[in-house]
């Protein structure tokens, strides 16, 4: 079996719905899957944000105040804490006028990983290399 690559593609906005946050949660759950694998087998997930999926990535979200649900910001920080690769499409950030400075950072929580702002071609490469691609 070896290394199973997975791509989790978040393409919908995170407000007023669970779908995108569930994509983040599923990507984080890869660690649980690894417990069940044979020695030497691994799972390598990549969480990718494209299109309208980038709209819910800004820090200082008030989802709990507005909608009574946890924000995608807190979920995103958790992905960095568990060393998950998070790719964000640069072209879509530019399209929607979202600055890199407005994105959350989990460094204050002790995360070693950071968000990777990449051209769509890098996300396409992650999709092409993956055995399974899941869209949210």
Task: Tell me how far CA of residue 136 lies from CA of 35, 77, 81, in angstroms.
Answer: 25, 18, 21
d(CA 136, CA 134): 7
Q: Are 72 and 24 in contact (CB under 8 A)?
A: yes
Position 123 scores a pLDDT of 98
Q: Are 86 and 79 in contact (CB under 8 A)?
A: yes
Residue with tokens 């996300």, as numbered in its chain: 123
Residue with tokens 């995103």, as numbered in its chain: 76
Q: Find the radius of gyration of the CA atoms of the chain.
A: 15
Return the top range by mean pLDDT from 81-85, 107-111, 114-118: 114-118
The domain 3-135: what is its CATH number? 3.40.1260.10
Give me the chain's average pLDDT, please.
86
Length of the chain: 136
Please report which confidence band the pLDDT of residue 109 belongs to, taking 50, 70 and 90 as the band edges. Answer: confident
Position 89 scores a pLDDT of 98
Q: Residue 126: helix, strand or coil by DSSP?
A: helix
Position 86 scores a pLDDT of 95
Q: Are 63 and 71 in contact (CB under 8 A)?
A: yes
* Longest CA pairwise span in the chain (Å): 45
Q: What is the pLDDT of residues 25-77, one digit of tens each?
A: 888 887 777 666 777 778 889 999 999 999 888 888 777 787 777 777 878 88
């Amino acid at each position: 079996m070896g290394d199973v690559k997975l791509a989790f593609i978040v393409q919908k906005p995170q407000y007023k719905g669970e779908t995108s946050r569930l994509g983040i949660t599923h990507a984080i759950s890869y660690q649980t899957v690894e417990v069940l694998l044979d020695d030497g087998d691994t799972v390598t997930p990549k969480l990718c944000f494209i299109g309208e999926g980038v709209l819910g990535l800004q820090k200082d979200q008030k989802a709990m105040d507005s909608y009574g649900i946890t924000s995608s910001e807190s979920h995103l920080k958790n992905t960095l804490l568990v060393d998950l690769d998070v790719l964000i499409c640069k072209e879509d950030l530019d399209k929607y006028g979202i600055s890199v400075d407005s994105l959350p950072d989990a460094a204050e929580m002790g995360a070693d990983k950071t968000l990777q702002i990449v051209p769509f071609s890098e996300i396409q490469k992650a999709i092409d290399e993956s055995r399974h691609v899941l869209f949210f």
